Chain A
Amino acid sequence: MRKILLWAPLMVFALLAGVLLRGLQSPESGTVPSKMVGRAAPDFVLPAAVPSHPGLARADLARGKPVLVNIFASWCVPCIAEMPVLLALKRQGVEIHGIAIRDKPEDVAAFLRDHGDPYARIGSDVSSQVQISFGSSGVPESFVIDGSGKIRLQHIGDIQQDDVPEILAALKAAQ
């Protein structure tokens, strides 16, 4: 019994070291999921990001039809990567609204011209305040919102072809 007790501290140390080493080898994924999923979208009113599109407000998200809200920026490279997928979603009849983070009208206009324009409305969130109120922590991120204005799904990062079924399923479930 005494012998076991003698070894106990070493065993505790080994266990702790093991846990900590494992933690070091698999660092945090770097993404923070929003806790707003399953809750009503936050209240907001954003001015238009470009003259060609109207701005975006919470009221536009609760018109009885599910929508996809895409948080993007002209200075964000993965946002370019997901553009073909967003355009394909739009062709399938998905209503997509944009929130442009920290962007200038001329930059957003150039981005739309160069990479495509899937958006019905684009709000300008110059100091990320609406992004924060969605619990979003980066660009691009997308939220599926049902017809009553409730957030059903958050997609962190660019939407790739493989992600389309999940997005479409969430939109369908939100009908």
Chain B
Amino acid sequence: MMRFLNNRLTFALVLTALVSGPVQADSRIGAAPLANVQLADPDQEKAAKHLMETIRCLVCQGQSIADSDAELAGDMRSLIRERIQKGEKPEAIRSWLIERYGDWVVYAPPARGSALALWLLPLLLLGVGGLVARGRIRRRSR
């Protein structure tokens, strides 16, 4: 550990990582009604939870709103539960959010635009790998 800390650059980097990050003030209002309260209907709750896990938190980036303690994430959870409770389909709510924040807001972004590469590249690389493997196996069996 001392050796590690002796490296001043590393130390500075670690320190930056510890103290930086978005500065967020919190309000004096408690959590939204359904931010942390499960729906009575287990099927509805399951659908809501499933959707929350696919929505990116807007202010904590890198967490889903299901995992985040940010107030805005709680407000979004409440919004999702309220709408599911009213009978809205998860897919409709998901589209509603994409309409507002773009594909950015969902994990597993739809395969269009630059995200298309994200979906196609693994398949392409798998194909290349398969060809290479086939060549090797053929050569060896010769």
Tell me if chain B binds chain A.
yes
CB within 8 Å of B: which residues of A? 28, 30, 32-36, 73, 75-77, 101-104, 107, 126-129, 132-135, 137-138
CB distance from A158 to the nearest CB of B (A): 13
* Residue among B78, B100, B102 with most chain A CB within 10 A: B100
As a 0/1 sequence over residues 26 to 44 of chain B, the CB contacts with chain A under 8 angstroms (1 = contact) are 1111001101000000000
4 closest A-B pairs by beta carbon, nearest first, are A102-B27, A135-B100, A127-B32, A137-B58
Of A30, A33, A132, which is in contact with the most chain B CB atoms at under 10 Å from its CB? A132
| Chain B interface residues toward A at CB < 8 A | 22, 25-29, 32-33, 35, 58-59, 61, 71-72, 75-76, 78-79, 97-102, 104-105
CB neighbours (8 Å) of B35 from chain A are 127
| A84→B101 CA distance, assembly (Å) | 30
Supply 27 A–B pairs (Cβ within 8 Å), ascending by A. Answer: A28-B61, A30-B22, A32-B104, A33-B102, A35-B100, A35-B102, A36-B100, A73-B25, A75-B25, A75-B26, A75-B27, A101-B27, A102-B29, A103-B27, A104-B29, A126-B29, A126-B32, A127-B29, A127-B35, A127-B75, A127-B79, A128-B71, A128-B72, A132-B75, A133-B100, A134-B100, A138-B72
Nearest B residue to A101 via CB reads B27
**Which chain A residues lie closer than 8 Å to B32 at the CB level?**
126-128
Complex: how many Å from CA A133 to CA B97? 8
The listed residue (A32, A75, A103, A132) touching B79 by CB distance below 8 A is A132
Cβ–Cβ < 8 Å partners of B26 in chain A = 75
* Cβ-defined contact, B29 with A103, below 8 A: yes
A30-B20 Cα distance, complex, nearest whole Å: 13
Q: Which chain B residues lie closer than 8 Å to A36 at the CB level? A: 99-100
Also in contact, A138 and B100, with CB within 8 A (given A75-B28, A102-B29, A104-B29): no
Q: Which residues of A contact B29 (CB under 8 A)?
A: 102-104, 126-127
Specify the chain B residue showing the minimal Cβ separation from A73: B27
Kindly identify which residue among B25, B58, B71, B75 contacts A32, using a CB–CB cutoff of 8 Å: B58
Residue of A nearest to B27 (CB): A102
Residues of A within 8 A of B101 (CB): 32, 34-35, 135, 137
A76 & B72 in contact (Cβ 8 Å cutoff) = no
Known contacts A75-B28, A77-B25, A104-B29; is A132 also within 8 Å of B61 by CB?
Answer: no
Nearest Cβ distance between residue B59 and chain A, in whole angstroms? 6
Query: B105 — which chain A residues lie within 8 A by C-beta?
Result: 32
Specify which chain A residues have a CB less than 8 angstroms from the CB of B71 in the assembled complex: 102, 128
Q: Are A76 and B79 in contact (CB under 8 A)?
A: no
A141 CB to closest chain B CB (Å) equals: 12
With the chains together, A33 CA to B104 CA distance in Å?
10
For residue A35, which residues in chain B have a CB less than 8 angstroms away from its CB? 98-102
**A32, A33, A127, A129 pick with most chain B CB within 10 angstroms:** A127
With known contacts A132-B79, A132-B100, A30–B61 Cβ distance under 8 A? yes
